[in-house]
């Protein structure tokens, strides 16, 4: 316990069991009796309860816990954003257009192919093939564009490419080779200013897990230089032929 000296007010500290005994003040030397329990002279007792922790301590602990939980939700998302670059295909649609060219994805089908691609030349296939038809419009006011708009529009070098949303490539099929027409391909036709033509590209079937088709056509396929043509559509838009 602690109590004040009656002579000099010096604070003295003694064990609780010293109550009622005489001691000497170390400050003034006065001999006096240690007050008993319950005396108004006792400032504090060793057996008194410790003060309760401040409520502020619990508030800060609570705030810290909330911050940890919030960080657990947001930090993984931030890490993924830092690791995954923005999807460059997010703004791509079924139509590409600029001042010189417009290319629209008009139809996507899968199934056996049977079509006359040249007079007297019919292609038949028992296997299912993915066919993507595009409508090409010349937006130029003065120059024609060159485009193989027939159903044999296959370019073996620098030609169109197809992939799904995960980057899995889908191989193009050369219908001319299937029909034994490797040396009998149509010449590219000229599309006058303001006119349009329909072309078709043929590919193997995409994976069943694919959700999206992404078609890329180099600008050189239209006899022009500039930005490549990118088109996309969901796989649920594929029609069964």
Based on the fold, state whether residues 12 and 118 are members of the same structural domain.
Answer: no
pLDDT band at 150 (very low <50, low <70, confident <90, very high): very low
Q: Which residues pair with 216 in a beta bridge?
A: 161, 230
Based on the fold, state whether residues 140 and 220 are members of the same structural domain.
Answer: yes
Position 79 in a domain: no
φ, ψ for residue 177, nearest 5 deg:
-65, -40
CA 48/CA 204 separation, integer angstroms: 86
The string over 47-78, giving b where at least 16 C-beta atoms fall within 10 Å of a residue's C-beta and e elsewhere, is eeeeeeeeeeeeeeeeeeeeeeeeeeeeeeee
Domain residue limits at 230: 95-240
> Is there a contact between 30 and 24 (Cβ–Cβ < 8 Å)?
yes
Position 55 in a domain: no
Position 121 in a domain: yes
How many helices (H) and strands (E) are present in the chain, helices listed first? 2, 18
The chain-wide mean pLDDT, for the chain, equals 79
Based on the fold, state whether residues 212 and 111 are members of the same structural domain.
Answer: yes
> Is there a contact between 218 and 96 (Cβ–Cβ < 8 Å)?
no
Position 157 in a domain: yes
- Which of 28, 44, 60 terminates a domain? The answer is 44
Position 86 in a domain: no
> Is there a contact between 113 and 131 (Cβ–Cβ < 8 Å)?
yes
96-124 tens-digit pLDDT = 999 999 999 999 999 987 766 666 777 77
pLDDT band at 53 (very low <50, low <70, confident <90, very high): low
Percent of the chain's residues with pLDDT above 70: 74
Q: Please state whether beta strands 101-111 and 239-240 pair in parallel, antiparallel, or not at all (unpaired).
A: parallel
Based on the fold, state whether residues 186 and 113 are members of the same structural domain.
Answer: yes
Position 90 in a domain: no
Based on the fold, state whether residues 111 and 39 are members of the same structural domain.
Answer: no
Position 18 in a domain: yes
- The yes-or-no verdict on residue 54 having pLDDT over 80 is no
CA 176/CA 153 separation, integer angstroms: 9
Position 36 in a domain: yes
Q: Please state whether beta strands 161-164 and 11-13 pair in parallel, antiparallel, or not at all (unpaired).
A: unpaired
Based on the fold, state whether residues 108 and 35 are members of the same structural domain.
Answer: no
Q: Residue 190 belongs to a domain with what CATH number?
A: 2.60.40
List all residues 6 or more positions away from 88 whose beta carbon is below 8 Å from its beta carbon.
none
pLDDT band at 63 (very low <50, low <70, confident <90, very high): confident
List all residues 6 or more positions away from 199 whose beta carbon is below 8 Å from its beta carbon.
133, 134, 136, 147, 148, 149, 150, 151, 153
Based on the fold, state whether residues 108 and 168 are members of the same structural domain.
Answer: yes
72-87 tens-digit pLDDT = 776 666 656 556 567 7
22-49 tens-digit pLDDT = 888 888 888 878 777 666 666 655 444 4
| Sheet arrangement for strand 161-164 | 169-170, 161-164, 212-217, 229-234
Number of domains in the chain: 2
> Is there a contact between 179 and 146 (Cβ–Cβ < 8 Å)?
no
Mean pLDDT across the stretch 196-221?
91
- The yes-or-no verdict on residue 180 having pLDDT over 70 is no
Give the model's pLDDT for residue 229: 93
DSSP 147: E
Give the model's pLDDT for residue 114: 74
Give the model's pLDDT for residue 139: 94
Based on the fold, state whether residues 40 and 99 are members of the same structural domain.
Answer: no
DSSP 232: E
Q: Which comes out higher in pLDDT, residue 15 or 186? A: 15
């Amino acid at each position: 316990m602690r109590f004040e000296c009656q002579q000099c007010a010096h604070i003295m500290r003694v064990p609780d069991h010293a109550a009622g005994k005489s001691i000497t003040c170390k400050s003034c030397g006065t001999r006096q009796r240690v007050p008993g329990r319950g005396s108004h002279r006792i400032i504090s007792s060793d057996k008194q309860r410790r003060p309760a922790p401040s409520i502020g301590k619990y508030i800060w602990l609570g705030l810290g816990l909330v911050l940890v939980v919030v960080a657990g939700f947001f930090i993984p998302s931030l890490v993924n954003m830092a690791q995954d670059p923005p999807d460059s295909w997010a703004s791509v649609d079924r139509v590409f257009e600029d001042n010189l060219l417009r290319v629209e994805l008009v139809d996507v089908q899968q199934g056996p192919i049977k079509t006359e691609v040249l007079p007297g030349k019919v292609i038949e296939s028992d296997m299912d093939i993915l066919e993507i038809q595009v409508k090409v419009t010349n937006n130029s006011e003065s120059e024609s564009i060159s485009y193989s708009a027939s159903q044999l529009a296959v370019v073996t070098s620098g030609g169109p490419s197809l992939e799904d949303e995960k980057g899995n490539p889908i191989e193009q099929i050369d219908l001319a080779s299937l029909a034994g027409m490797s040396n009998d391909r149509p010449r590219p036709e000229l599309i006058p200013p303001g006119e349009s033509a329909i072309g078709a590209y043929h590919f193997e079937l995409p994976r069943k897990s694919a959700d999206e088709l992404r078609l890329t056509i180099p600008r050189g396929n239209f006899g022009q230089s500039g930005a490549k043509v990118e088109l996309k559509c969901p796989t649920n838009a594929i029609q069964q032929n």
